[in-house]
Structure 1
Amino acid sequence: MKIRYSFLVLVLWLISAINVFAQSNKRVSGSVIDSTKTAVEGANVKIIAGNDTLQTTTNEKGYFSFAKIKSTSFALSISSMGYNSFSANYNFGDSKSLELNAIELKFAGNMLKEVEIKSKPNPIRIMQDTVEYNAAAYQVLEGDNVADLIKQFPGLEVDDEYNVKTMGKDMVKLRVDGKDFFTSNVKDFISKLPAAIVAKIQVIDDFGDEANFTGIKIGEPTKMLNIVTKPGMNKGK
């Protein structure tokens, strides 16, 4: 009889302890959105309740929840990359469960702006009878002429009188946008033409009109300079 009484007391104590434990555990849940009302997924959510610290992250719907909170009050903090952090204090009062209103995170003022990454243009293109220099790959300062631009090209030389040489040979013929120009005075032309209007400069091995027509190349070619201007720059074209 004494054993049965002791067992009954133990059962009643366990039931009471379970009820007290269940009543002492509280639950809180909520959701996180941004200023566009879009759910913020993966936000870090932390609760400090008494001596306990609980952490979780929001799901794809921005939802989070905590259980087994023993304290009647807690501090909530939320952080996510690209947003200002949020923090606030809450109290359960007489409730055992607390459903928070949607918490809105503000976009951080120092968010990285979109950066357009452009590949560096290829400075030189070598073809069968042509070496082409891309002006965009070289430095062009305000007031520079074409001679200043050509001085930067590897394989080309410009002396103080604006004579142009390549591989020891003088540049004696001139074209603009693939058409023979009215003058063959290369040095005068490149000393006056602004570099800012140039897109490309080509050094061409010219075997003459007959070779261009027949495709048969005989003898030593003449070095010819072809200046390709930027779109809309050659008004006489």
Structure 2
Amino acid sequence: MKRTVSVLLGVVLLGCQPLAWADDPLPPPQRTLPGGLTVNSIDELDILPAAKEVLRENVRLMKEQKLVPAAEGRLPDFDAIEAHYRARGKPLSEVTAAGKIGFAPAGLDATPLRGLADAAIPGGVRRGTVWSGVARLFRHPELGIVILEETDLRNGGGAMFTREMINADVNGAPAMLLSKQSSSGRSESRLMWFVDGMLYELRTPGVDDRSRDALLATARALSR
């Protein structure tokens, strides 16, 4: 069965940061990139007109303010997420030794996460006892919680990015980086990119320039 990860940034997921905004980072004819990434403009999306307006407003806010307002219920509770990972997760070394992941997770030796204890939980699609994805949670001394998610789509499916939401790159791969915050202060920065059939995502509660820059630096330093 074909699987598709749809990324409607600003509605379902996120993706912004105006550090090096590209108005049109992909040539118009290049809608599907090698490896299963499809890039559509907002106008091409098969969603309600009201949802398209939400996306356009998010693009405007991302460019002007670096921050998109969001309802608290639509933002993650990172403390609760950390408690879940600490209770159910195991070190990545144990998860991989048990043969529960069908790919080699990215290496961290050149990243700010090097040497930090992790709690890993397999996820995605399971074939027998092997999963197509894994998420790792770390606690960085300066950034706080950082979550790295990897999903292998090479055996089927793909990812869809919204053209106007692509505002960064990870070693040449188009990426989406967005910071959101509620009126009560709950917040999240999220970076997503797609390389050679692998979908990657980094998340942290910080929404300042340092947090966004750290996500980009981490993504660019992962070894694959």
Q: Same fold (TM over 0.5)?
A: no
Q: Give the TM-score taking structure 1 as reference length.
A: 0.22
| Larger-gyration structure (1/2) | 1
Q: Which is bigger in relative contact order (C-alpha 8 A, separation at least 6)?
A: 2
Q: Give the TM-score taking structure 2 as reference length.
A: 0.22
- Structure number with the higher helix fraction is 2
